[in-house]
Chain A
Amino acid sequence: MSLVLLIFLPIIAALFIPLLFKKVGQIHTGWFVLLVPAALFIYYSTLLPSIAEGGNRVSELQWIPSLDIAFIAYIDGLSLLFSLLITGIGALVVLYSIFYLDKYREQLHNFYVYLLMFMTAMLGVVQSDHLISLYLFWELTSISSFLLIGYWYTRDRSRFGALKSMIITVFGGLMMLGGFVLLGIMGNTYSIRELISQAPELVGHDFFVWALVLILLGAFTKSAQFPFYIWLPDAMEAPTPVSAYLHSATMVKAGLYLVARFTPIFAASGTWVWLVTGIGLFTMLWGSFFALKQKDLKGILAFSTVSQLGLIMSLLGVSAAGFHVENATEIALNYAGFAAIFHLINHAVFKGSLFMIAGIVDHETGTRDIRKLGGLMSLMPISFTVAMIGAFSMAGLPPFGGFLSKEMFLTGMVALTEFDLFSMDVWGILFPVIAWIGSVFTFIYSFYFVFHTFAGKHKPEELPKPAHEAPKGMLISPVFLAILAVVIFFIPNIVGEWLVKPAVAAIQPFMYDSPSDVHVHVAAWHGYITPELWMTIGIFAVGGLMFWTLRKWQHQYERFPNTLNSLYDKGMFLSDTGANRFSRLYMTGFIRSYLVYMFSFLIIIVLGTFVLNDAFAIDMNNLAPVGLYEIVIMLALLGSTVTILFSKSRLTAIIALGAVGYSVALFFVIFRAPDLALTQLVIETISVALFLLAFYHLPQISRKEERMRFRFGNAVIAVGVGVTMTLVALAAHSGKALPSISEFYKETVYTEAGGGNIVNVILVDYRGFDTLFEIGVLGIAGIGIITLIKLRLTKKEGQHENK
Chain B
Amino acid sequence: MKTNDVMLQTVTKVVTFIILMFAVHIFFAGHYTPGGGFVGGLLTASAIVLLMLAFGIRTVKKIIPVNYVVMTSVGLLVAIGTAAASILFDVPFFTHAYDYFELPLFGETSLHSALLFDVGVYLVVVGVTMTIIQTIGEDE
Residues of A within 8 A of B (CB): 674-675, 678-679, 682-683, 685-686, 689-690, 692-694, 697, 753-757, 759-761, 763-765, 768-769, 771-772, 775-776, 778-779, 781-783, 785-786, 789-790
Contact = CB atoms under 8 A, between A and B. Distances in A.
Nearest to A691: B136
Contact of B128 (A678, A679, A693, A781): A781
A318 to B, nearest CB: 54
Contact of B136 (A693, A755, A769): A693
Interface string B32-43: 111111110011
A678 B72 contact: no
B131 A754 contact: no
Given A757-B31, A778-B125, A785-B135, A683 B36 contact: no
A769 B36 CA distance: 16
Contacts of B124: 775, 778-779
A28 B33 CA distance: 62
A757 B36 contact: yes
A761 to B, nearest CB: 7
B125 A755 contact: no
A782 B72 CA distance: 9
A765 B96 CA distance: 7
A779 B53 CA distance: 24
B38 A697 contact: no
A775 B123 CA distance: 10
A759 B29 CA distance: 12
Contact of A778 (B30, B31, B118, B128): B128
A686 B98 contact: no
A686 B39 contact: no
Nearest to A783: B69
B31 A769 contact: no
User: Top 6 closest A-B pairs, CB basis?
Assistant: A756-B32, A760-B36, A674-B34, A754-B98, A682-B42, A782-B128
Contacts of B137: 693
Contacts of B118: 760, 764
A683 B136 contact: no
Given A753-B96, A757-B30, A761-B31, A690 B43 contact: no
B139 A775 contact: no
B85 interface: no
A768 to B, nearest CB: 5
* Chain A interface, DSSP helix/strand/loop, else mixed: helix
5 contacts: A678-B26, A679-B42, A760-B118, A764-B114, A772-B79
Most buried by B among A689, A697, A771, A778: A778
A674 B132 CA distance: 27
Contacts of B35: 675, 678, 757, 760
A689 B133 contact: yes
A782 B68 CA distance: 10
A743 B80 CA distance: 29
B42 A675 contact: no
A690 B132 contact: yes
B45 A686 contact: yes
Interface in B81-140: 83, 94, 96, 98, 110, 112, 114, 117-118, 120-121, 124-125, 127-129, 131-133, 135-137, 139
A769 B94 contact: yes
A730 B89 CA distance: 46
Contacts of B120: 775
A590 B50 CA distance: 32
Interface string B20-34: 000000100011111
Contacts of A768: 83, 94, 96, 114, 117
B43 A790 contact: no
A682 B46 contact: yes
A559 B112 CA distance: 80
Contacts of A764: 31, 36-37, 96, 114, 117-118, 121
Contact of B38 (A686, A763, A776): A763
B131 A760 contact: no
Contacts of A674: 34
A778 B39 CA distance: 15
B76 A776 contact: yes
Contacts of A776: 76
A789 B139 contact: yes
Contacts of A765: 96, 114
A587 B49 CA distance: 35
Given A768-B117, A775-B76, A785-B131, A756 B31 contact: yes
A683 B94 CA distance: 28
Contacts of B9: none
B56 to A, nearest CB: 11
Contacts of A756: 31-33
Most buried by B among A675, A679, A682, A789: A682
A757 B80 contact: no
Contacts of B73: 779
Contacts of B114: 753, 755, 761, 764-765, 768
